[in-house]
Structure 1
Amino acid sequence: MARRSGLFVTFEGGEGAGKSTQIRRLADVLRSRGCDVLVTREPGGSIGAEAVRHVILSGAAEEFGVRMEAILFAAARNDHVEEVIRPALAQNAIVLCDRFMDSSRVYQGVTGNLESDFLDALQRVAIHGLRPDCTIILDLPAAIGLARVRARSEGASLDRFEREELQTHEKRREAFLEIAASDPVRCRIVNAERDEDVIADEVLSIIAPQVEELGLGKRAGVETAG
């Protein structure tokens, strides 16, 4: 695939790691400096993918097994990539996505026990050559993340993944760290146990040089949020 314009940044990590908060904060700073920013998420992000999101997170597909669930994720991702992400990048936008391909490798591959060849084949079809320029992995002990999720739910029902056992969540944390170790150029680990402002500053310090290098926005020099 030909190199596209724009900057594609994905955020990964366990439940309750603060991805949504940090994406919002980064988007606000970048927009204030003249950047065109698209915030999106997976599963979901496009009309077709949002319909699949409801099926997956409700647990309606769980009885059909993790293989079917992985196929649904791939279908949703393909629609998301072709209908939303790729067109935005072609217009020089900065795309900030809450979860992407690494979540499939962790959730369906590592803890779903799907064979890597099967997942890799699904991935090739789903992303069609589109890979993130940078992936921020917000690292947090699973027990802390789950406590945050339950506190903010205020009695509401948890989704299909939030309901799973602590041991499963900790295994996913370890898997994200392994992905980062295997791809250190793309992936950056950020300690998510710290104050929200400190995390936001570090995230921005990672993304700012890439924004400047590409000359995105009216002011390419993006200082820290603090």
Structure 2
Amino acid sequence: MFLLNNMLLTIDATMGGWELFKNSLLPMITGGIKYTIPLTLIAFTIGLALALLLAIMRLSNSSIVRAPSVVIVSAVRGTPLLVQLFIVFYGLPSLGMTIDPFPSAIIAFSINVAAYASEIIRASILSIPKGQWEAAYTIGMTRNTALRRIIIPQAARVSVPPLSNTFISLVKDTSLASLILVTELFRKAQEIAAVTYDFMLIYIEAAILYWVVCFLLSIVQQAIETRLERHVSS
């Protein structure tokens, strides 16, 4: 952190455009590696686990089990992510629960991902033909066993493309964490812009970095989808 602060101190308004661009690159990349990428990975992993739970709850035959998941998904999908982030970071302290910026961001993003991903997973499970259920029942499987061993593995392949899009969107959404003082990529851009007053150049540079990351992830997404298509066709 001390080294990164020194980097920021060496950046001033007297620098030319290209020189400022080069000197600003390392602090922003460092913020991305230290906070943006870990925040994305952790929040998506936790959110995916919660999404599976919510999806299974929504598919339950019991209204007592199904109702809470319906309310949670509706509430999260019906409110802005920024509001959710502020409730966790600024609202919970009024209830005696003070959480640091990075964990607050993880909680808010995980819940948000869970709500949206749960609908993707639920739709993927419903897309599996009923004959798969019936075949599982005929060989003596229970509903839970059929879901775990037959339905979910097939639904996972169907849900990969939309879940990949959710992951890529999450990378961009992490920029909101700058508003609760998480020093990720965009927060570093804000700090540099505040010193140099060259907002256009710095914010365009941040946009380019986000675009590069999302572009690389889209290539990985296409490779995974192609592999899955070949696996299904074979």
Q: TM-score, normalised by structure 2?
A: 0.29
Question: Which of structures 1 and 2 has the bigger CA Rg?
Answer: 2
Q: TM-score, normalised by structure 1?
A: 0.30
* Structure with the bigger percentage of strand: 1
* Structure with the bigger percentage of helix: 2
